[in-house]
Amino acid sequence: MSNGSIAETTRSVLIVDDEPNMRKTLADILHDEGYEVSTAASGEEAVEMCSGEGYDIVLLDVRMPGIDGVEAFRQIRRHQENVRVIMMSAYSVDELKEAALDEGAIAFLSKPLDVERVVKLIGEVKDTAILVVESEEPTASTLHAALKQQGYRVTVTKRPHDALELAEQIRFDLIFIDAELPAMSGLELYLAIKKITPSAVAIMITGMEEEFEAIAREAVRRTAYTLVKKPLDLDYVLGLLERLTGRRASGDLRKPPPAD
């Protein structure tokens, strides 16, 4: 692990687990990584702490005496809407996992925990490489600025040919693709990039024109993750990326409901 290397922007972590050894071990590891660490032994204690203190990350066990982790998560979010919550469980709880991820937990990890993975996940959003392929300058600039402000590594291009060259040289985790591009459609570019980088997750961008919305929807039908419409709702887009990062870490890439 790289001591303190990911703690530059995320300083405070709350660990919530009813097992004392688990709390101490995780706290020691994250403290060594440079984080300010607090602990709680129950969901009720965590909710109370979050009502009076702001945390950047909450590591939250699912099965605890009293309220379970999912209910604690819901109550914590009432006090801190933007807190990043990572759920943990030693049990197979698919329904709770689905509920937690749908409600905004960034990941759901199984115990025994892979500690290196936990440390990486806490700062993973900063390590996500994003390629934006967008032909309209205002949309490209707005999206680029919003993503950079959140700490993502972002590359922007207008031309499909340049996007393909970049995909051959750099592994991008997420790719935004405008449905309306010069020389080839967004669908054609998506299919070409998937041949180069099958693991890349694509989000299609479309305007109001029916022709290009149909192209974007066909890409989604072909396994692109989802589509977003112009003018972009940046709060929605950033929330979508946060949830998507957690779903990837949790091995759960269920697509969101179809866009209207």
pLDDT per position as a tens digit, 27-83 = 998 888 888 999 999 999 999 999 988 898 999 998 898 998 889 999 998 888 778
Q: Whats the size of the chain, residue-wise? A: 260
pLDDT of residue 169: 85
- 174-202 residue pLDDT tens: 999 999 998 899 999 999 999 998 888 99
Q: Does the pLDDT value for residue 131 go beyond 70?
A: yes
CA angle, residues 48, 51, 54, in degrees to nearest 5: 120
- Contact status, residue 96 vs residue 60, Cβ threshold 8 Å: no
Same topology between domain 12-124 and domain 128-249: yes
Nearest-Å Rg of the Cα atoms of the chain is 20
The end-to-end CA distance of the chain, in Å, is 44
Q: Does the pLDDT value for residue 237 go beyond 50?
A: yes
* Topology, domain 12-124: Rossmann fold (3.40.50)
Three-state secondary structure call for residue 165:
helix
pLDDT of residue 93: 67
Q: 194 CB contacts (<8 Å, ≥6 apart)?
A: 200, 202, 223
In this structure, of 11-15, 50-54, 121-125, the range with the lowest mean pLDDT score is 121-125
Identity of the residue numbered 258: P
- Contact status, residue 134 vs residue 114, Cβ threshold 8 Å: no
pLDDT of residue 1: 45
pTM of this prediction? 0.61
Q: Where are the domains of the chain?
A: 12-124, 128-249
* Topology, domain 128-249: Rossmann fold (3.40.50)
